[in-house]
Amino acid sequence: MSKKPLPSTEGNAGHLPFSRRLLLQAMGVGGTAAALGGGLVAAAQAADVQNAVPAEPGEQTLSLKVNGQPQTLQVDPRTTLLDALRDRLQLTGTKKGCDHGQCGACTVHVNGRRVNSCLSLALMHDGDDITTIEGLGTPDKLHPMQVAFVEQDAYQCGYCTSGQIMSAVALAHEPYGDSAAEIKEAMSGNICRCGAYSHILAAIEHTRKA
């Protein structure tokens, strides 16, 4: 049986619209691209990185010393000190309670003085020395005020406890007397929704007498 010649593709609209020469040229280009492969991808990715738009335009550099360690952050000018500590440095011992400066759960020390970190913009504290509850003591070596809170059972749910302790420690360096009335007045910015005030007072009195 004789074989019939293959039909020509040139000038025939019913067949593939390219010649063997075009096919070979396309294969050559494809082979070259395949050979370059990862190099092209890497170059494209590098160009993307160089030309990338910052994720958060307008951020500013903030330098702090937090619990004795230098920290440099890029923060939005609207970021509070509380959010910078919790969200950027993962220091979640400082609690976000009311977020309006009314409960004291967010109390930290700034250059040795207690502040409500929810009311203070992070950029206001560039260069400041910040102490949070994590920097006050460790599980192996608690601060005396932390020991007193445990011994006097001065907490229930524990949500306000870090703020209570930070205020109580700062109180020792403030011009208040040792009477129960004066201590209560000095601690009035820290709210305990569980009502453990008598135990908190006992812990503070115990520490101040030690």
Does residue 81 register a pLDDT over 80? yes
Rounded-to-integer distance, Cα 100 and Cα 116, Å: 9
Residue 33 lies in a domain: no
Distances (CA, A) of 45 to 38, 52, 206: 10, 10, 62
Does residue 12 register a pLDDT over 50? no
Q: Compute the average pLDDT of residues 10-39.
A: 43
Does residue 153 register a pLDDT over 80? yes
Last residue of a domain, one of 132, 151, 183: 132
Name the residue range of residue 194's domain.
Answer: 136-210
The share of the chain scoring above pLDDT 90, in percent, equals: 68
Rounded-to-integer distance, Cα 75 and Cα 1, Å: 83
Asked if residues 86 and 96 have their Cβ atoms less than 8 Å apart, the reply is yes
Residue 21 lies in a domain: no
Residues 121 and 143 in one domain: no
- pTM metric for this prediction: 0.73
Q: Compute the average pLDDT of residues 178-193.
A: 96
Which helix or strand (DSSP H or E) is residue 59 part of? none
Does residue 53 register a pLDDT over 60? no
Distances (CA, A) of 171 to 143, 178, 188, 194, 200: 14, 10, 12, 22, 13
Rounded-to-integer distance, Cα 209 and Cα 148, Å: 11
pLDDT, tens only, 127-136: 999 999 999 9
Residue 193 lies in a domain: yes
pLDDT of residue 5: 52
